[in-house]
Amino acid sequence: MLNFLPFIALFLGVVILSLFLIPKIRALSFKNHITDVSRARSSHRGIVPTFGGVAFYVSYLLVLFCCQSFDTNHVSITLLVAISIVFFTGFLDDLKDLSPKFKFLGQFLAVALLMFQSDFRINSLHGFMGIYEIPMGVSIAGSLFFLLGLINAFNLIDGIDGLTGITGIIVASFYSFMFYTLGNFFYAAIGVTTIATLLAFLRFNFSIQRKIFMGDTGSLVIGLVLGLLTLKLMSFGDEAYVTLSFNREQLPLFLTAVLFVPLLDTLRVMLVRALKGVSIFKADRNHIHHIIIDFGLSHRRASFFIGLANFIAASIMFFVIQRFDFIGSLLILIALLFLAITTLFLMNTNRAALRIKVKMKQALLRLF
Say whether pLDDT at 360 is over 70: no
Q: What is the average per-residue pLDDT within 52-62?
A: 95
Long-range contacts of 182-186 (CB under 8 A, 24+ apart): 182/236, 182/240, 182/241, 182/243, 182/244, 183/243, 184/232, 185/6, 185/67, 185/70, 186/67, 186/70, 186/71, 186/72
In this prediction, residue 89 has a pLDDT band, given cuts at 50, 70 and 90, of: very high
The tens digit of pLDDT for each residue in 308-317 reads 999 999 999 9
**In angstroms, what CA-CA distances link 19 with 12, 16, 104, 200?**
10, 5, 31, 6
In this prediction, residue 367 has a pLDDT band, given cuts at 50, 70 and 90, of: low
Q: Hey, where are the domains in the chain? A: 5-367
Please give the full DSSP string across 19-54, using - where no structure is assigned.
Answer: HHHHHHHHHHHHHTT-EEE--TT-SS-SEEE--THH
Which pLDDT score is estimated for 206? 92
- Rounded CA gap, 338 and 52, in Å? 35
Which pLDDT score is estimated for 1? 46
The tens digit of pLDDT for each residue in 196-215 reads 999 999 999 999 889 999 99
- Rounded CA gap, 337 and 343, in Å? 10
The tens digit of pLDDT for each residue in 119-170 reads 898 888 877 877 888 898 999 999 999 999 999 999 989 888 999 999 999 9
